[in-house]
Structure 1
């Protein structure tokens, strides 16, 4: 990851289109900066129990084979899941000139809403255009790869799993001029990184920075541990 293509002063979504096989298609296809940085970032981390664990286990005892089949959600083989949500606010009155360019005011903030909403839909290629129906059925396009950019140390590859859109005020043509959008994400994991170098590099970038931040804290508290007597 490089620091020269992203404004770290604003949160943003960097979007990359993917081909039918999930392969990368090159540079950023869309860049959606947040007009106002959200006031809250709600994150949830959990360890998912590995498939097959806990099956046949009896309460208070081992599994049906007499072993410890039910290792619980903290088993070493369980994968880490991360989900988070943000609330995005849009207001035509505060649209920044440098971000809006020549965007027509008459459409209100419908362009911003539509750009976000479009991330939930598969990318349409030239071969997906309407036809006379004589061609064989083609595989449905894939949704774009989205990188959630939050400051200079967190760039997380995500899939958007839901949006709640609250349009609040409208102009004379019923285009919204203010809205709040709750967006729910799930972070991509190691399985997604195997076939996509952009996912793997983003995960590594964020993980490396997480360890750096943790080390800053741990280095300052290491001396305190020397005064604690633990049972041997």
Structure 2
């Protein structure tokens, strides 16, 4: 006498697979849809399967609406930043004296973008500019570091040498605050990601440790670096 092997119990996955691949089941047993009661996501009451599906659909629509609103807000923010970058670039074009350009770069960034701490150094400048402050204090290590950057660096202040160029921010108590986060923008001829050696470094700092976060987008900072580089070519 032979004995058949015991059947494996039906699992939830088996049921889900059957229902997904047998849609006519609900056509033959429409009463099942009406009779199934499940817990609502908005309380302890039981609702029909159709009502629960409607709730899920409303939740998906709400999530999509929130995403659309976030995209609209980001679009408006980007438009505002783009307008500021454009205005700043136009100001640089109107500077007549080459020696005034570094200060115009710094002042414009502080005013248009509310950056509290800004500094700039440019090297390999023409002889008539070598005595200006913006042409001082850039060591060979700093120059090599700037040339190694193919995109803006954003992150915490880890004691980089260029942070010593930044002014400290005064607070009400009379004390001052050092930069806690930084954006370092290489200045070079051509695109920011080219292999051309940098001829300067633009440093943006903030006492706010989250202002220049390592995860932030750098597209606008890259465009700012390229605009500043194009203007500062007149110093060489």
The bucket for the TM-score relative to the shorter chain is under 0.3
Please tell me whether Structure 1 or Structure 2 has the larger radius of gyration of its CA atoms: 2
More strand by share: 1
Whose helix proportion is higher, 1 or 2? 2
Highest RCO, 1 vs 2 (Cα 8 Å, sep ≥ 6): 1
